[in-house]
Amino acid sequence: MKGLTDKPDYIIEILEGGVTLEDVIDGHIGNQTLAGKRAFVVADLGAMMQQHVCWQSIVPQLQPYYPVKCNSSPAVIEVLASLGLGFVCTSKTEMSLVLEHGVPPENIIFSGVCKQLAHIKYAAKNNIQHLVCENEAELSKIARLHPSSKLLLQLTTEAHAAETSMAFGTSLKSCRHLLEAAKELGIQVVGVTFHIPSSCQDLQQAYTHALSDARCVFDMGIDLGFNMRFLDIGGGFTGSEFQLKQVDSAVRPLLDAYFPPLSGVQVLAQPGTFYVASTFTLAVNVIGKKVAPHHWDSLGQENTEFLYYVNEGVYGPFSCKLLGNSIAAPSVHKHVLSADEAVYPSSLWGPSLDHLDQVVERCLLPELSVGDWLLFSNMGAYGLDNITCLSSSSQLPVYYTISTSNWYEMQEAGVALDSAVKNF
Ligand SMILES: *Cc1c(COP(=O)(O)O)cnc(C)c1O
């Protein structure tokens, strides 16, 4: 990782006069020599701005706190910080990154099931007071190293537990115990946090349970004399406007019932994927091709199936595949599929020749040639950060862009970016 005191070294290209993101991608592909067809990333910061506008119009009552673990690119942090978002950090590195962008410590939450002692001390020293806590061992560490902290208790939800297949958060039962222990240690508890992942099948039920549990914890806390005033409903927003409306319609009546505005409780959420997924597009090059051993389908027809190798894989920007997420099929650069064109079952593999390095298991693509480019959209969440630590290749180039209209919209919203801006 670069020294954190370095100025952000990214450049944003403003796209004027109808220049599109596709034109930018074309330009970068055109610039690559035959020998060095290196994968690259294009970021449309305007997409992030539009997500912010969408968030504010649909759920203005939910204060967004961006989880840095989702994508810590400097441009992302800078834009979101100047839009006034709060931040959720899970390490000292993340806290210092966010503090460097001028985010006030009171807008930072230090989260994570298990925190390193040095990181707790760092939070204390830098006046970051909001810490998430879910068990007694953590509580005693925090009491020792950061006695003036204000805790949010992490409540478990069935949906989250199912996804991580690991106990996460504290049950309602053990909450009273944790509250009493905090009381005894003289640590303030100021609220509750929980997380329902977007993979959850029954949003209504999950939020109903989580919010009624949260209400119970608030009541227990108030009983013990705590000033309970923060409720954090976590992440799990896919990025689609439709899904945000679905979550809103599940959550809003419950909030009205359990945490009405008059209660004075501030309601937060942690939209990570929502803000950044659609902002980043990854372009990779086809470096190898094989015809799979022949298959016969159920009708006895012979099917041609292709295997393609591309120049980045799960040990690079597709790392979220290793965590069990699937990667959506790419589009083929400069290829408009005609109605009568044949498509073939295809699988996409990374360059490592390792059996785990499968990027897309099966998708339908026209027949590709070595040297073709594939574009993966929606690549902004969980993965791009890992380029530096996991992949043996050096960091992929990231080209930041924004359309003129989004640029003006950002200026009006008060975003002043430090980085150089150049016209494309
Ligand atoms: C990762 C994480 C989030 C962010 O989730 P998204 O679905 O990316 O918005 C929120 N809360 C917790 C506890 C998390 O671990």
267 and 327 belong to one structural domain: no
Q: Flag whether 95 is in a domain.
A: no
Confidence of residue 2 (pLDDT cuts 50, 70, 90): very low
pTM: 0.90
Q: Flag whether 189 is in a domain.
A: yes
Q: What is the Å distance from ligand 1's center to 237 Cα?
A: 9
- For residues 391 and 283, which has the higher predicted lDDT (pLDDT)? 283
Q: How large is the average pLDDT for residues 53-59?
A: 97
Q: Tell me, what's the pLDDT at 335?
A: 83
Asked if residue 222 lies in contact with residue 261, where contact means CB atoms within 8 angstroms, the answer is: no
What tokens were used for 50? 């539009």
The amino acid that residue 364 corresponds to is L
- For residues 419 and 339, which has the higher predicted lDDT (pLDDT)? 339
Confidence of residue 392 (pLDDT cuts 50, 70, 90): very low
325 and 246 belong to one structural domain: no
Confidence of residue 325 (pLDDT cuts 50, 70, 90): confident
Return the best residue to mutate from 195, 243, 247 for the ligand 1 pocket (most ligand atoms within 8 A of CB).
195
243 and 299 belong to one structural domain: no
CA atoms within 13 A on the CB side of 357: 18
Q: Tell me, what's the pLDDT at 124?
A: 98
155 and 237 belong to one structural domain: yes
220 and 294 belong to one structural domain: no
Q: Tell me, what's the pLDDT at 416?
A: 74
CATH classification of the domain holding 109? 3.20.20.10
* Structural domain span for residue 199: 104-271
CB atoms within 10 A of CB 282: 26
CA distances from 381 to 163, 275, 318, 403 (A): 17, 9, 11, 22
Q: Flag whether 196 is in a domain.
A: yes
Whether the CB of 238 sits within 6 Å of ligand 1? no
The total domain count for the chain is 2
Q: Flag whether 16 is in a domain.
A: yes
Asked if residue 169 lies in contact with residue 160, where contact means CB atoms within 8 angstroms, the answer is: yes
289 and 345 belong to one structural domain: yes
246 and 207 belong to one structural domain: yes
Return the best residue to mutate from 196, 198, 270 for the ligand 1 pocket (most ligand atoms within 8 A of CB).
270
266 and 242 belong to one structural domain: yes
Q: Tell me, what's the pLDDT at 304?
A: 87
Residue 13 in this model has a pLDDT that exceeds 50: yes
298 and 320 belong to one structural domain: yes
Question: Which of 230, 255, 271 represents a domain boundary (last residue)?
Answer: 271
Residue 107 in this model has a pLDDT that exceeds 60: yes
Residue 385 in this model has a pLDDT that exceeds 70: no
